[in-house]
């Protein structure tokens, strides 16, 4: 069997991720940080395996669809350095868009939710895959083929950026230069992404570059006063191998059935998670607006108390 340079690069990068995972696991147990549990880690491996099986099953179709669209490319980039730079940037932006759709459209959230279902956060969480994503991901990457990028190069670029995305799944605080944190996704950024805190919901969608989030309004920094709580706002009670994949589809189906009108049924499918026809549940943006208003009221009340305290002290000193 002959291995190409791309094959060797991917194998090497995946090997590096596995070694780092084992190192993090070792230090977690050595320092009793409880970053890993056996059940959670095995669930991550199971979900990764399920995604790999679907990836393999759809790989041929993905390749031929990209190759077919490549025939209708609008232009070609002759310079190899510019070619790869534009490919990585464009692929990363399209991933940001794919990821954002996965958070803002409930049908896609029903598939993506498995990646967020763990209440732990470690390097194996990066392997807790969106199992059915390989079935629709290619349609988000079709523009790359029309831009003159070959199917092989698109898939290779995805693997490379995916590996970087795996590396930021860690709770260890790593200090980066400010310029790096402004441009690239860091573990701190991605901890926010996996949080169930209201402030952090649907934030920091980027895989490699955090610039997309900064530019399009989905950025949120990690705040020391709002400690990250991992997992979902409502954790599934049954974390068995079948329910962990399908629990949100089951909930979505129940909501669609109870919707009083056809348009309400459609809205349950395509509106953001949390939308309800009767207002019994709320989407993240509404909850975040309410949080900001509550914090503003608390701040104003605190300021008024300070002013009142200063006035009271002034009155006491003038009568003293």
pLDDT digits (tens, 9 = 90+) for 275-300: 999 999 999 999 999 999 999 999 98
User: Quick count: other Cβ atoms within 10 Å of Cβ 205?
Assistant: 24
Q: Which domain holds residue 309?
A: 283-315
Ranking 3-17, 138-152, 194-208 by mean pLDDT, the lowest is 3-17
224 occurs within a structural domain: no
Average pLDDT of the segment spanning 213-220: 97
Please say if the pLDDT value at position 241 is more than 50: yes
* Predicted pLDDT of residue 3: 45
In this structure, the answer to whether residues 49 and 172 fall within a common structural domain is yes
pTM for the model stands at 0.86
Q: For 229-240, write each residue's pLDDT tens digit.
A: 999 999 998 888
In this structure, the answer to whether residues 212 and 303 fall within a common structural domain is no
Q: Which of 183, 199, 216 is the last residue of a domain?
A: 216
Please say if the pLDDT value at position 138 is more than 60: yes
In this structure, the answer to whether residues 157 and 293 fall within a common structural domain is no
171 occurs within a structural domain: yes
In this structure, the answer to whether residues 102 and 190 fall within a common structural domain is yes
C-alpha–C-alpha distance, residues 24 and 35, integer Å = 9
235 occurs within a structural domain: no
C-alpha–C-alpha distance, residues 105 and 127, integer Å = 23
In this structure, the answer to whether residues 192 and 292 fall within a common structural domain is no
232 occurs within a structural domain: no
Q: For 165-178, write each residue's pLDDT tens digit.
A: 989 999 888 889 99
Do 130 and 51 form a contact (C-beta atoms < 8 A)?
yes
C-alpha–C-alpha distance, residues 320 and 119, integer Å = 58
In this structure, the answer to whether residues 309 and 187 fall within a common structural domain is no
Provide the pLDDT confidence category of residue 13 given band limits of 50, 70 and 90.
low
Do 28 and 111 form a contact (C-beta atoms < 8 A)?
no
241 occurs within a structural domain: no
Contacts of 251 (CB under 8 A, 6+ apart): 110
Per DSSP, the three-state class of 225 is coil
In this structure, the answer to whether residues 181 and 294 fall within a common structural domain is no
Alpha-carbon 262 to chain mean position:
31
Average pLDDT, the chain: 89
260 occurs within a structural domain: no
In this structure, the answer to whether residues 200 and 60 fall within a common structural domain is yes
Burial class (CB in 10 A: 0-12, 13-18, 19+), 72: exposed
272 occurs within a structural domain: no
C-alpha–C-alpha distance, residues 180 and 50, integer Å = 34
C-alpha–C-alpha distance, residues 212 and 18, integer Å = 28
Closest Cα to residue 124, out of 196, 53, 38? 38
In this structure, the answer to whether residues 287 and 212 fall within a common structural domain is no
Do 298 and 290 form a contact (C-beta atoms < 8 A)?
no
More confident residue, 302 or 207: 207
**First and final C-alpha spacing in the chain:** 94
Q: Which residues pair with 94 in a beta bridge?
A: none
In this structure, the answer to whether residues 155 and 301 fall within a common structural domain is no
C-alpha–C-alpha distance, residues 27 and 125, integer Å = 17
Do 207 and 163 form a contact (C-beta atoms < 8 A)?
no
C-alpha–C-alpha distance, residues 142 and 139, integer Å = 5
Average pLDDT of the segment spanning 53-58: 86
230 occurs within a structural domain: no
Q: How many residues does the chain have?
A: 320
In this structure, the answer to whether residues 150 and 40 fall within a common structural domain is yes
Q: Which of 165, 196, 216 is the last residue of a domain?
A: 216
Q: Which of 157, 181, 216 is the last residue of a domain?
A: 216
Our count of domains for the chain comes to: 2
Closest Cα to residue 196, out of 298, 278, 274? 274
Average pLDDT of the segment spanning 48-53: 84
In this structure, the answer to whether residues 90 and 203 fall within a common structural domain is yes
């Amino acid at each position: 069997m002959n291995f190409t340079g791309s094959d060797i690069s991917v194998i090497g990068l995946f090997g590096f991720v596995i070694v780092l995972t084992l190192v993090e696991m070792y230090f977690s147990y050595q320092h009793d940080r409880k970053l890993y549990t056996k059940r959670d880690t095995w669930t991550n491996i199971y979900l990764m395996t399920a995604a790999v099986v679907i990836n393999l099953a759809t790989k041929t179709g993905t390749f031929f669809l990209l190759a077919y669209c490549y025939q209708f490319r609008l232009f070609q980039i002759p310079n190899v350095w510019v070619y790869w730079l534009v490919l990585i940037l464009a692929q990363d932006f399209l991933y940001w868009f794919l990821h954002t759709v996965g958070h803002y459209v409930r049908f896609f959230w029903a598939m993506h939710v498995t990646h967020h279902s763990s209440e732990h956060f470690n390097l194996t969480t990066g392997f807790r895959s969106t199992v059915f994503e390989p079935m629709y991901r290619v349609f988000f990457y079709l523009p790359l083929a029309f831009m003159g990028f070959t199917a092989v190069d698109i898939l290779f670029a995805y693997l490379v950026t995916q590996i970087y995305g795996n590396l930021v799944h860690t709770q260890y605080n790593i200090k980066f230069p400010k310029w790096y944190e402004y441009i690239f996704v860091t573990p701190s950024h991605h901890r926010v992404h996996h949080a169930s805190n209201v402030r952090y919901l649907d934030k920091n969608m980027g895989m490699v570059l955090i610039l997309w989030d900064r530019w399009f309004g989905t950025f949120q920094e990690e705040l020391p006063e709002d400690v990250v709580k991992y997992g979902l706002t409502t954790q599934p009670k049954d974390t068995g191998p079948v329910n962990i994949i399908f629990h949100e589809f089951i909930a979505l189906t129940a909501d669609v059935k109870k919707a009083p009108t056809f348009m309400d049924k459609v809205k349950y499918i395509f509106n953001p998670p949390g939308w309800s026809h009767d207002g019994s549940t709320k989407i993240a943006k509404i909850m975040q607006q309410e949080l900001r208003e509550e914090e503003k009221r608390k701040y104003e009340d605190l300021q008024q108390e300070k002013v009142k305290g200063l006035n009271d002290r002034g009155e006491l000193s003038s009568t003293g």
